[in-house]
Structure 1
Amino acid sequence: MKKNIKIILILLLTLNFSCEESLEELNIDPNTFPLAGDAQVLSSAIGFLGYIVETDLNYSESFLWSQYYTWGIGVSIGNDERYVSLGGDFDGYWQRSYANSLADLSYINKKSESAAYRGISKVLIAYIYQGLVDHFGDVPFSEAVSGAIEDGSVLAPNYDSATTIYPALVTMLDDALSELDLAEDDLVGDDDFIYSGDITKWIKFANSLKLRLLMRTSEVDAQASAVQSLIASGTFIETVDDMPFVPYSGASGDQNPMFARAEFGVGMFYFASNATLNVLSTLDDPRAEVLYTKATTGTFAGQLRGIDQGTIDDEPFTAPASDYSMASEYAYGEDKPVILMSPWEVWFLRAEAAARYGTADDESMAFETAIDLNFSYMGLTDSATYIGTLGYSSSDPLNDKIDLIAVQKWISLNGTQEDEGWIEARRFDRPASRIFTDGIWQTPPLSVLADGTFPSSWLYPDTERSLNPNAPAQKANTDEIFWDN
């Protein structure tokens, strides 16, 4: 008996010493990194960014407010088609931007010892913050993503003025370019879903994004000298090979976020808006048949058929969707990439910069290159014939040139950058030419806004206003962002 007790005591002591010696190891989950590295955090940030851009932005109010599409048959017409906005509509975008992507990117920016990772993080931080400003106006910036003890434990950040955030983002991109100039090409790899660590392309993205920021204020705060200097010295996204995008294979769990979100629900039921089809038809633009499907049944079988914005209640309730034109495979598909910035967008920016500020670029060449690249990406040829009908090179007044750039840019962003199409249409709809609100966009008959009045911004999210005592009073969706006019 005493022998057995002795053996038990020895075993207990052995277990006790073993536990003391390996307690730290035992408390580590073998399936979880105790501290994520740059690679894992960057992958996470980009993964969320793909969802943010394609679902929270492209497949949201902007999808309809850009008037590329209108409400379809099968369900009651939604608030966004009637220009009714609720704060809760924007909770997801705000949360995923701040709590997910920006939190990850800020961690890299503050903690990484790599100039490459820091530079990449700064480019994407600037990209996300510009989006937040372009939708909400004033947002948390200088005190944002600072909840950690070492960052000040700021759980209720103050809001920064949109007019101060924009210049700060330009400075951030300058810092990013400095970091990227010092970066090693082979340090970042496949964890960078966008460029696989190609630093040269990240530099082009940074310069292109900086150009976008500078040009967005063109109607309210011209940045002529800064733009001229940037065009003269910078490298930019010029071809599809330079284009930043998040790829998707189309396999289950790796589908385009818009496709996955729509198919998880009622599917893609939106119809082509006549606001867009009318312009494409007037211009005899071959991109119409790439952007939209043709009706396959009914009186209009074999033709493009849209409806006026917000008039679905006037259509036969039992009519099949096949009686109408819908999103094509170019605009909607399981393996469609999420484009962050296209080369045609950048060339349109360069054309506008040359027209407004007399940069070193040939404005006609930049304008034509933008359209040619968009045609090529769509699989279309003979852009030269179409370009010749537009008469840009023979246009004289600046307003006429800006109008041509505005409409062509709006068309080119359809199907790939719907949210950017809405943003730029607001900017181009200037006092000198109300080209969209008076000439192209249609007022939905069930709109709660006055005839000819369209949304200009998003409301602050309900969750933010409930949890942050420093959140401002709620706005109206007709309040303009500072660069709007």
Structure 2
Amino acid sequence: MKLINSLTKIVAVAGSFMMLVSCTDDFDSINTNPSLVTPEVMDGDMLLTKVLKNSVFSTYQYNRLTEMAGYAENQGTSVVTERNNSDPLMSHTREYIKPLNHAIDLWEDDPLNANKIAIARIWKAWVFHIITDSYGDVPYFQAGLPVDEAVDQPEYDPQEEIYNDMLNELQEAEAMLTDSEEQLDLGAADIIYNGDINKWRRFANSLRFRLAIRVRYADPQLASDHISDIMSNNKPLIEMEEDMAYIQTEGETADNTSNRNPLYNRSINANIPVYANMTISEVLQMRDDPRLPIYLNPAPEPRDGDMWRGRPTNVSVENQNQLAGTEGQWADRYTREATARLGDLFQEAEYRIKVLHAPEVYFLRAEAALFGLTNENAQELHREGIRQAMALYDVDQAEVDDYMQTGAANLSGSQEDQLREIIVQKYIANYWLSQESWSEHRRTGYPVTWIGTRGDVYDDEDRELQRRYQYPFDEDLKNSENVNEAVSRLSNGDTYRSKFWWDAKEGVPIPHPNKDIFPPERDFD
């Protein structure tokens, strides 16, 4: 669906906050800040619209997160292990959680707003799972409260408690959704599903399935309980493309350019392309995947005939210079002209920014079946996930048929071998859902990623992708007692290496086969 033009009305509502008080014989009016945001001038529907738009758009960027996901690489960025300049903990709480809480407050006195409240609760769970998956323990129960309830120094809740509550919230909010025609409808203010309650049910259940699988290694019983509830009660899930949660950006002629695809806006202003990461290039080439020329544009001037070469992550200065003066020097192998880059489709002005789609849900179900959490057939679900993923990009049917005959589409080997292929296929299907792919890499170890030793914290034996963000400097200053308590629960303190609660699988990270080789590319012939 199109991003509604009425989104710009939010600005008009914000402008109304500046109205001057016309009556001066009332003490309260005289002593009230005329720019103060009060319930009388707020619109819960517009608050939800703004949160949906900004929170989804924020996931579709070219930044460090896309590097950690293995989708893109920019050697000009800071070392991936340095404290992150972006701050989803504070910004997401301030810009998304607090407005959602305020919208719920505006709606809660009217029983006809039950669906609106349920949708806001569902979306809060989506936002919070991004926050906690980035840091671990974070303020949750005391976060983003209304002004009269606000806590200046909120406690950092254990991630286990957060996940238990998010799963329960999704369960309760989905049950709260009703088909009653008396309910007030969000309509166009809902820029994801246009007020379609059945689709919100599917999204809530599918998100709950995602979160249940996320905790499978940390708490198998919790995962099993929620998945069993979904399946035994025949809860509807996202099963087709039409059920997908996404926002359609506006085109080149959009009145508000911020409603266009963020990567389109970048493409018309940036001096450098979005370079492909070695990981996505490698997994596609290894499987002779027909999505390769869709996901990536070939290198304009490929070196050694490798038109799909992606750049490895976190390459050390030593590695960059070790072959200097030889035929294989870094400057020749990974220049702008010798490196593949992001495909055109993903940089078009009009683009569907995906949140959760059918292929991912089929792969979640495949994993659940593989480990006996359901009675479904893992192989059939895996294959359907691939078919649905190919359909998202209109892959030629003959190419799909050929692919379905390969090992990529047919699970075999040990249980771990089969899990690896399920996760890799989900990684391919979730192209540019960077937060989710980073989380799944940390949870499972897949896809296996080559990473260099750039930065003082690395050594040759111990290198891995960043496992979490460090807490913001501002929190160290303003909320140090609670931050320190949260840090004490981390495996390695407030560092990028610390594993938090759900990051519990033994044997991860899994070293890349070419871990000690540079340049690290494999032969795909």
Task: State the TM bucket, normalised to the shorter chain.
Answer: 0.7 to 0.9
CA displacement 1:349-404 (0-9 Å, x = unmatched)? 01111111251433222111111111111221332321321266552532222111
Alignment correspondent of 1:365 = 380
Aligned CA distance change for structure 1 residues 396 and 326 (closer, same or farther; 3 Å): closer
Is the 1:215–1:349 contact (alpha carbons within 8 Å) kept by the matching residues of 2? yes
Q: For 1:41, which of 35, 39, 47 is the aligned residue?
A: 47
- CA apart distance, 1:331: 3.0
Name the CA distance, whole Å, in 2 between partners of 1:391 and 1:40.
Answer: 45
Partners of 2:498 and 2:91 lie apart in 1 by: 24
Change (3 A) 1:345 1:268: farther
| Separation of aligned partners in 2, 1:468 and 1:418 | 29
Partner of 1:10: none
Structure-2 change in CA distance of 1:355 and 1:268 (3 Å): farther
5 Å matches for 1:73-92? 77-79=76-78, 82-87=79-84, 89-91=85-87
| Amino acid corresponding to residue 383 of structure 2 in structure 1 | E
Take 1:45 and 1:268, find their aligned partners in 2: how far apart are those partners?
Answer: 30
1:413 — aligned with what? Answer: 430
* Candidates 462, 478, 500, aligned match of 1:467: 478
The code of the aligned residue for 1:101 comes to Y
2:452 alignment partner in structure 1:
444
Cα distance, 1:234–1:283 mapped onto 2, change above 3 Å = same
Larger mean CA deviation between 177-186 and 222-231 belongs to 177-186
Match of 1:253 among 258, 265, 285: 258
Amino acid at match of 1:103: K
Q: Which amino acid aligns with 1:417?
A: L
Partners of 2:81 and 2:411 in 1: how far apart?
Answer: 43
Q: Within the alignment, does 1:180 sit opposite 2:177 as a pair?
A: yes
Between the aligned partners of 2:430 and 2:272, the Cα distance in structure 1 is: 19
Distance 2:141 2:452 in 1: 39
1:178 Cα deviation (Å)?
A: 2.2
1:63-74 matched pairs, under 5 angstroms = 63-72=66-75
- Determine whether 1:51 maps to 2:57: yes
Per the alignment, residue 216 of structure 1 pairs with: 214
| Aligned residues between the structures | 444
Q: Partner residue of 1:133?
A: 132
The aligned residue for residue 4 of structure 1 is none
User: In the aligned structure 2, how far is the partner of 1:284 from the partner of 1:331?
Assistant: 21
Contact 1:295 1:301 in 2 (8 A): no
Larger Rg: 1
Query: Which moves more between the two structures, 346-355 or 271-280?
Result: 271-280
Classify the secondary structure of the residue corresponding to 1:338. strand
Q: 1:283 aligns with which of 269, 287, 300?
A: 287
Partner of 2:495: 476
Q: Does 1:454 pair with 2:465? A: yes
CA distance in 2, matches of 1:455, 1:214: 23
TM-score (norm: length of structure 2)? 0.77
Within 5 Å, which residues of 2 pair with 1:48-447?
48-55=54-61, 59-72=62-75, 77-79=76-78, 82-87=79-84, 89-91=85-87, 93-112=88-107, 113=110, 114-149=113-148, 151=149, 153-181=150-178, 184=181, 187-222=185-220, 223-232=223-232, 233-250=234-251, 251=254, 252-260=257-265, 266-267=270-271, 269-297=273-301, 299=303, 303-311=307-315, 315-316=330-331, 321-382=336-397, 383-390=400-407, 393=410, 395=412, 397-414=414-431, 416-429=432-445, 436=447, 440-447=448-455
Give the deviation of 1:229 after TM superposition: 2.7
CA distance in 1 between counterparts of 2:64 and 2:216 reads: 25
AA partner of residue 163 (structure 2): Y
Pick which of 357-366 and 337-346 moved more.
357-366
Q: Which runs of 5+ in 1 are unaligned?
A: 1-16, 430-434
Aligned-pair identity (%): 22
Partner in structure 2 of residue 5 of structure 1: none
Q: Which runs of 5+ in 2 are unaligned?
A: 1-21, 322-328, 488-493, 506-525
Q: Deviations over 1:430-466 (max 9, x none)?
A: xxxxx54xxx311224244233333111111122333
Contact 1:413 1:421 in 2 (8 A): yes
Q: 1:297 to 1:396 in 2, by over 3 A?
A: closer
Contact 2:44 2:104 in 1 (8 A): no
Report the CA distance between 1:319 and its aligned residue. Answer: 8.2
Q: Judge conservation of contact 2:311–2:334 (CA < 8 Å) in 1.
A: no
Report the Cα offset of residue 47 of structure 1.
2.3
**Cα distance, 1:183 vs. partner?**
5.5
Greater mean alpha carbon deviation, residues 287-296 or residues 190-199: 287-296
SS at match of 2:342: coil
Higher RCO, 1 vs 2 (CA within 8 Å, ≥6 residues apart): 1
Query: Are 1:294 and 1:301, in contact at CA under 8 Å, matched by a contact in 2?
Result: no
TM-score with structure 1 setting the length: 0.83
**Alignment partners' CA distance in 2, 1:464 and 1:335:** 38
Once residues 90 and 115 of structure 2 are traced to their aligned partners in structure 1, the CA distance between those partners, rounded to angstroms, is: 27
1:478–1:189 Cα change, 3 Å: same
3-state SS in 2 of match to 1:340: strand
Instruction: Determine helix, strand or coil for the equivalent of 1:141.
Output: coil
How many angstroms does 1:288 deviate by? 1.2
In structure 1, C-alpha distance between the alignment counterparts of 2:338 and 2:477, rounded to whole Å:
45
SS of the counterpart of 2:175? helix
Amino acid across the alignment from 2:265 = A
Quick check: 2:307–2:338 contact (8 Å CA) kept in 1? no
Separation in 1, partners of 2:235, 2:280: 34
> 1:450, 1:362 → 2: CA distance?
43
